[in-house]
């Protein structure tokens, strides 16, 4: 079963993965323009073309979403992706005989420069575009998750080594019922630990004994030197009818980041959630409408129900990003590695 974003009709995902450089790019492409919403809660957000996604703005639709490594230099991949779209004759049309194509994409970056061994190349966006397929999304040390890690709030060995653990790209899917599907893809690069519902730390900051340290026990909080950010993209297949509803869904979906990461949304994180809909399903999710004179109330309940599922999908995609990750060799990592959680079990 495909439990990734590509289980939604009309969605393709591609990665550009550069293990030797510990960075990359992930691109989500739409077969037709879709409504996209956005919410950001971290203090160090790096995003592209997001202001127009806010409620109250004109509802222009997007041709895709990208997540790039490289910190702000990753935003340059937007030009490469849009050039690919234009070459494929995708986008709104203008000019004489409507012969000019004007694609639109949005996206955000994760700060993986602390792990990089070479500068980010904007052409990684083009590579990810060219690799996009409707096959199940590959997870782990791929795309924008190639050089990501978690648990970066404390260094060890006199502040010379990072105690972080490896994360990456993760996916999850929730079937709400009535044919409604909620999917999430997360690129996890959090300052904090990733924490399971029972309080167990799945991946996080290690001390000299290779025990994982809870954030609450620490007084030696470190800098944002190896800065952070978790980007989640939620896709649904039901029409929520307005930018305000999609924005509310993005807000509710962010609760999945709150449930899975501690601390989260810090000043050293750029935590962001995108939401898009293929809008295949037009019928109501439930029968609440018959109880209200204004059927708009019914849509609000739909957003609540789907939003709770979106939060769960985001939460599970963050766990998946850690479970699918692979240990990497890294000179500045404690004992010369950034370990994956499965290698510490």
Lowest pLDDT segment from 30-34, 112-116, 168-172, 235-239:
112-116
Residues in CB range of 90: below 8 A, 6 or more apart: 63, 101, 103
Which residues have C-beta within 8 Å of that of residue 26, sequence separation ≥ 6? Answer: 13, 14, 15, 16, 66, 67, 68, 128, 142, 143, 144, 145, 169, 185, 187
The SS3 of residue 253 is helix
Q: How far apart are CA 129 and CA 135, in angstroms?
A: 14
Express each pLDDT in 129-159 by its tens digit. Answer: 999 999 999 999 999 999 999 988 877 776 6
Q: Which helix (H) or strand (E) holds 286?
A: none
pLDDT at 278: 97
Higher-confidence position of 233 and 206: 233
pLDDT of 331 > 90? The answer is: no
Residues sharing a CB contact under 8 Å with residue 179, sequence separation 6 or more, in sequence order: 237, 281
Q: Is 105 left (phi over 0), alpha (psi -120 to 50) or beta?
A: beta
- Whether the pLDDT of residue 341 is over 60: the answer is yes
- Quick one: pLDDT at residue 209? 59
Res 39 pLDDT > 80: yes
Instruction: Tell me which of 287 and 79 has the higher pLDDT.
Output: 79
The phi and psi torsions of 82 (rounded to 5 degrees) equal -65, -35
Instruction: Name the percent of the chain lying above pLDDT 90.
Output: 67
| End-to-end alpha carbon distance in the chain | 27
* pLDDT score of 288: 47
What would the two tokens of residue 34 be?
């879709």
Average pLDDT for residues 82-89, to the nearest whole number?
97
Distance between CA atoms of residues 133 and 13, nearest Å: 6
CATH classification of 5-343 is 2.60.40.10, yes or no?
no
- Mean pLDDT across 328-340: 87
Tens of pLDDT, residue by residue over 252-300, are 999 999 999 999 998 888 899 999 999 999 865 555 445 544 456 667 7
pTM of this structure: 0.93
DSSP assignment letter at 167: -
What is the pLDDT confidence band of residue 219, given thresholds at 50, 70 and 90? very low
Given this model, what pLDDT does residue 312 score? 99
Locus of tokens 């957003």: 303
Q: Is the pLDDT of residue 239 over 80?
A: yes
pLDDT digits (tens, 9 = 90+) for 96-134: 888 899 999 999 999 987 777 788 999 999 999 999 999
Specify the pLDDT at position 332. 81
Residue 328's CB is within 10 A of a number of other CB atoms, namely 18
Q: What percent of the chain has pLDDT over 70?
A: 88
* H or E element that contains 155: strand 155-156
Q: Are 4 and 170 in contact (CB under 8 A)?
A: no
Confidence of residue 62 (pLDDT cuts 50, 70, 90): very high
Q: What number of other Cβ atoms are within 10 A of residue 47's Cβ?
A: 18
Give me the pLDDT at residue 223, please: 47
The mean pLDDT of the chain is 89
Residue 64 has what pLDDT? Answer: 98
Mean pLDDT for 219-241 is 77
d(CA 17, CA 72): 18
pLDDT of amino acid 212: 63
């Amino acid at each position: 079963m495909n439990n990734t974003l590509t289980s939604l009709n009309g969605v393709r995902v591609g990665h550009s993965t550069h293990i030797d450089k510990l960075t990359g790019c992930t691109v989500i492409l739409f077969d037709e323009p879709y409504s996209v919403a956005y919410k950001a809660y971290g203090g160090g957000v790096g995003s592209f073309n997001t202001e127009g996604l806010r409620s109250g703005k004109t509802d222009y639709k997007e041709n895709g979403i990208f997540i790039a490594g490289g910190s702000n230099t990753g935003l340059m991949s937007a030009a490469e992706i849009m050039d690919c779209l234009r070459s494929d004759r995708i986008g709104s049309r203008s000019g004489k005989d409507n012969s000019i194509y004007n694609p639109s994409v949005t996206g955000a970056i994760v700060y993986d420069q602390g792990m990089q061994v070479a500068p980010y190349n904007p052409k990684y966006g083009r590579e990810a575009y060219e690799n996009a397929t409707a096959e199940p999304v590959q997870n782990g040390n791929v795309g924008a998750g190639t050089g990501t890690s978690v648990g970066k709030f404390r260094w060890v060995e006199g502040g010379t080594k990072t105690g972080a653990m490896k994360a990456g790209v993760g996916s999850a899917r929730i079937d709400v019922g009535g044919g409604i599907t909620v999917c999430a893809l997360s690129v996890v690069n959090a300052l904090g630990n990733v924490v399971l519902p029972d309080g167990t730390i799945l991946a996080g900051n290690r001390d000299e004994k290779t025990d994982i340290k809870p954030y609450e026990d620490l007084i030696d909080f470190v800098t944002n030197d190896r800065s952070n950010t978790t980007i989640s993209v939620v896709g649904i297949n039901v029409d929520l009818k307005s930018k305000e509803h999609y924005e509310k869904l993005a807000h509710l979906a962010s609760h999945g980041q709150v449930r899975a990461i501690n601390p989260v949304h810090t000043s050293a994180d750029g935590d962001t959630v995108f939401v898009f809909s293929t809008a295949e399903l037009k019928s109501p999710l439930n029968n609440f409408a018959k109880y209200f004179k204004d059927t708009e109330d019914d849509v609000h309940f739909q957003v609540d129900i789907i939003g709770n599922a979106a939060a769960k999908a985001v939460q599970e995609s963050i766990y998946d990003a850690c479970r699918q990750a692979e240990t990497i060799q890294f000179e500045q990592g404690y004992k010369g590695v950034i370990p994956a959680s499965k290698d510490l079990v």
